[in-house]
């Protein structure tokens, strides 16, 4: 279907979602929230086996478009929590719960909610000129879209608090060195790097990757003993999958596997 604020396509097992408000650094407004929600909802039942998220133009996403709902009529403050509950919380949870790899291709600034939406993806690959900014402190706000949960788990309390308190721009290269993101590549290499990864995931054992994703994220809240039980259960389930049978057959026959994601 036709969208106003995003470009969305599913082809060859790869779903691509491009935030497309380049004149506003792809910041979210009400329309974009609705269109992203609809696009992600359409993945269920599609042939997509990986989701790539990026931004049009010179930025990934500048977070919330403050011009869209900075103040209510008459200058009164608005309920920012309502937007979190209605838009950002469902978006972050959807990205985390999708039964496929989700890759953020950060092509420029990722600020505020835009930074944390990127970090909520499974893998983040950023161009060398890209940056991450926890801009909330400049507005007297708390990092949202999972920022207060993601940052300390990814880089520790000291760095999380520094980024959150100061709102400094973190260059992509340093973000990679800190372990905040998966990779930083030269600007000219971003497209090809992400395309190659997309093709790899589109032909990968998707069901196994989905369970791996689930086990790792949910494991943060479990004891080691409980996690060992989860690994046992998932391994038992996946041992009956078509992909496991194909993987074993390909290994013994010394040929590339042809996974179907089932």
pTM of the model: 0.94
**Computed over its alpha carbons, how large is the radius of gyration of the chain?**
19
Give 81-92 pLDDT, tens digit per residue.
Answer: 998 999 999 999
Is the per-residue pLDDT at 211 higher than 60? yes
Give 145-202 pLDDT, tens digit per residue.
Answer: 999 999 999 999 999 999 999 999 999 999 999 999 999 999 999 999 999 999 999 9
Give 35-72 pLDDT, tens digit per residue.
Answer: 999 999 999 999 999 999 999 999 999 999 988 765 55
Give 101-132 pLDDT, tens digit per residue.
Answer: 999 999 999 999 999 999 999 999 999 999 99
List the end-to-end C-alpha distance of the chain, in Å, as a whole number: 28
Give the per-residue pLDDT at 72. 56
> Hey, what domains does the chain have and what are their CATH numbers?
6-202 (3.90.226.10), 206-253 (1.10.12)
C-alpha 193, offset from chain centre: 16
Cα–Cα distances in angstroms (integers) from residue 231 to residues 143, 145, 218, 236, 247, in the given order? 33, 29, 12, 8, 19
Give the per-residue pLDDT at 68. 79
């Amino acid at each position: 279907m036709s969208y106003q604020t995003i470009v969305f396509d599913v082809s060859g097992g790869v779903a691509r979602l491009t935030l497309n408000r380049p004149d506003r650094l792809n910041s979210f407004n009400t329309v974009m929230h609705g269109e992203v929600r609809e696009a992600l909802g359409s993945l269920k039942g599609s042939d997509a086996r990986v989701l790539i998220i990026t931004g049009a133009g010179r930025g990934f996403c500048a977070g919330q478009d403050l011009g869209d709902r900075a103040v209510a009529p008459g200058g009164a403050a608005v309920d920012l929590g309502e937007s979190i509950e209605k838009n950002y919380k469902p978006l972050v949870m959807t990205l985390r719960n999708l039964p496929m790899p989700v890759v953020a291709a950060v092509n420029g600034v990722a600020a505020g909610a835009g930074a944390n939406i990127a970090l909520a993806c499974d893998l983040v690959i950023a161009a060398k000129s890209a940056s991450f900014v926890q801009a909330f402190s400049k507005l007297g706000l708390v990092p949202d879209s999972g920022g207060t949960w993601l940052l300390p788990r990814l880089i520790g309390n000291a760095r999380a608090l520094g980024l959150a308190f100061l709102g400094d721009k973190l260059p992509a290269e340093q973000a990679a060195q800190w372990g905040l993101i998966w990779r930083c590549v030269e600007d000219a290499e971003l497209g090809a790097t992400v395309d190659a990864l997309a093709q790899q995931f589109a032909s990968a054992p998707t069901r196994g990757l989905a369970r791996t994703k689930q086990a790792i994220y949910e494991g943060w809240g479990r004891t080691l003993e409980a996690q060992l039980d989860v690994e046992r259960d998932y391994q038992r389930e996946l041992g009956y999958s078509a992909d496991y049978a194909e993987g074993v057959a390909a290994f013994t026959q010394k040929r590339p596997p042809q996974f179907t994601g089932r």
